[in-house]
């Protein structure tokens, strides 16, 4: 692994830093109840990114993307994370768009891709169901062909940001008699369609990020099916040449530790930081820094593999597992450092250190080892594909 940029990579990194310095909007979040990434000046920020073709750096240029090789994507993501720049892509850029580009019709591309880039199309993912999470192929939502439409009935759960989404990409079973990985089709669903009900799920931190979504005889035009009928499972696995190092998460973990340490240093006589000066807690914070640095190295390993044309497999599972469990350890260390007052979860309470960010992260982090593939699933992948151990 070579940690040095090539001359071309160094020039691109300089370009990205200059762009951020000149265009990054003021940090002014909309609040705990708003959609993620809503900053003052976000529309102008997105416009600048669209002009640079940096909203979707991996998309082909003919669809408004940057057509970047993975190393340039990595540099862009790393520098954006270091600057704590607001993300404007979302699932539309990372999942819906690539699927439409690869498997969609020309009409689907013309309808959706420009709206994803402009921010008019805000997407959510309709995959998980109450009885189909890690075993997603067990999903039971049904889509029955009726003339020029499909009629969908069923339920999705843990649907992030469905309360804001105007479109959903979803999987539904179109052949109940086929083996479970077959007989599934992929649909683009307008969230304003009659028969769709979104019910909030509040997490331990009191945030409304997740939802249940119910489908009661929802009619979806057949032209909104992506790919062949009963081949949706394979359509759903579509990716472009995305950078998948998780560098943004690695950088974000270090930022969280920096914020905690700055607060402790700036409030030496504050009762909330008394425990933080205990040698055992200081050593624990140092351990978290070491682990964040290790996570960054794991990200470098993945991007190095991708740049060489290799496909990370168990390496990605290792990074996801380490990252999600580190998220919990960082939150736990923060709570220990701040003591009892750190448990105040209202950002409006003047006593709450760091506007209760540590407490909220601590509560929210419980879900991190579940979403995106549970820790158990990741360990199975590492054991079987990385260590060559037999299946249970």
DSSP 26-46: P-----TTSPTT--TTHHHHH
Classify domain 7-88 by CATH architecture: Orthogonal Bundle (1.10)
Predicted confidence at residue 305, as pLDDT, reads: 94
DSSP 5: P
Largest CA distance in the chain: 72
What confidence score (pLDDT) does residue 16 get? 98
- Bridge partners of 212? 199
Which residues contact residue 225 at a Cβ distance below 8 angstroms, ignoring those fewer than 6 apart?
150, 185, 186, 187, 188
In this predicted model, what pLDDT tens digit does every residue of 254-305 receive, in sequence order? 999 999 999 998 888 776 677 778 899 999 999 999 999 999 999 999 999 9
Catalytic residues: 243
Fold type of domain 123-231 = Butyryl-CoA Dehydrogenase, subunit A; domain 2 (2.40.110)
Q: pTM value? A: 0.90
pLDDT 10s digits, 117-161: 999 999 999 999 999 888 888 999 999 999 999 999 999 999 999
Q: Token digits for 230?
A: 């009963």
The structural architecture, per CATH, of the domain 247-386 is Up-down Bundle (1.20)
pLDDT of residue 164: 95
Q: Are strands 123-126 and 167-173 parallel, antiparallel or unpaired?
A: parallel
Burial of 366 (0-12, 13-18, 19+ CB in 10 A): middle
- The answer, yes or no, to whether residue 390 has pLDDT greater than 50, is yes
Residue 391 clears pLDDT 90, i.e. is over it: no
Tokens of 389: 């151990």
Q: Where are the domains of the chain?
A: 7-88, 123-231, 247-386
Q: Give pLDDT tens digits for 27-42.
A: 644 444 444 444 456 8
- CA separation for the pair 170, 184 (Å, rounded): 10
* Other CB atoms within 10 Å distance of the CB of residue 208: 13
């Amino acid at each position: 692994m070579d940690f040095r940029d090539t001359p071309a990579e160094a020039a691109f990194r300089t370009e990205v830093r200059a762009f951020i310095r000149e265009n990054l909007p003021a940090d002014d979040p909309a609040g705990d109840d708003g959609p993620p990434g809503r900053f003052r000046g976000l529309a102008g920020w997105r416009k600048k990114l669209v002009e640079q073709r940096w909203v979707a750096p991996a998309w082909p240029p003919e669809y408004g993307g940057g057509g970047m090789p993975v190393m340039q994507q990595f540099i862009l993501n790393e520098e954006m994370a270091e600057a704590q720049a607001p993300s404007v892509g979302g699932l539309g850029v990372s999942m819906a768009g690539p699927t439409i580009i690869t498997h969609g019709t020309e009409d689907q591309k013309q309808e959706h891709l420009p709206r994803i880039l402009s921010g008019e199309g805000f997407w959510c993912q309709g995959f998980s169901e109450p009885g189909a999470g890690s075993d997603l192929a067990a999903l039971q939502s049904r889509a029955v062909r009726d003339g020029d439409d499909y009629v969908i009935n069923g339920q999705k759960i843990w649907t992030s940001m469905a309360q804001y989404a105007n479109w959903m990409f979803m999987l539904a079973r179109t052949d109940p008699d086929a083996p479970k990985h077959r007989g599934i089709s992929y649909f683009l669903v307008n969230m304003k369609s009659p028969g769709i009900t979104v019910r909030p799920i509040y997490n331990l931190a009191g945030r409304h990020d997740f939802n249940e979504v119910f489908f009661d005889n929802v009619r979806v035009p057949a032209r909104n099916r992506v790919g062949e009928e009963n081949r949706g499972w394979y359509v759903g696995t579509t990716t472009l040449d995305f950078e998948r190092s998780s560098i943004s998460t690695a950088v974000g973990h270090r930022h969280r530790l920096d914020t905690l340490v700055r607060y402790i240093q700036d409030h030496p006589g504050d009762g909330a930081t008394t425990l933080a000066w205990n040698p055992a807690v200081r050593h624990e914070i140092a351990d978290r820094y070491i682990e964040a640095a290790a996570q960054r190295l794991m990200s470098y390993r993945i991007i190095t593999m991708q740049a060489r044309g290799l496909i990370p497999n168990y390496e990605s599972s290792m990074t996801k597992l380490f990252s999600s469990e580190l998220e919990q350890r960082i939150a736990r260390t923060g709570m220990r450092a701040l003591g009892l007052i750190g448990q105040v979860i209202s950002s409006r309470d003047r006593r709450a250190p760091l506007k209760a960010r540590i407490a909220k992260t601590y509560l929210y982090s419980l879900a991190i080892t579940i979403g995106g593939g549970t820790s158990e699933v990741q360990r199975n992948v590492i054991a079987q594909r990385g260590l060559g151990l037999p299946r249970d």
